[in-house]
Amino acid sequence: MKKIVLACGSGVATSSAVAKKVSELLDANGYEGAYTIVQCAIAEAASQCADADLLVATTVAPAGITCDYVSGIPFLTGMGKADAEHQILEVMAK
């Protein structure tokens, strides 16, 4: 089971939008039931990532992150979305 942390400024608005899109991506690629998503504020990301496989954040990754990081901005803007999706699927395949 992969743990994916989704972080934004407050842990509510944009992380919810990105969580929906990431879930749809993973489910469409056969990973339904193989992951959990935890939403948090970016200030909590370092502690949440201690046992996580991936951080998807709509801000710059904070110092101290020990898991893989993918920018969540492409899921909001559409620019670079295919690359971000590819990076997420690579982490899932590990």
pLDDT digit string, tens, across residues 23-80 = 999 999 999 999 999 999 999 999 999 999 999 999 888 888 889 999 999 999 999 9
- The tokens for 21 are 């899109």
Distance CA 18, CA 58 (A): 8
pLDDT of residue 12: 67
pLDDT of residue 78: 92
What domains, with CATH codes, occur in the chain?
2-93 (3.40.50.2300)
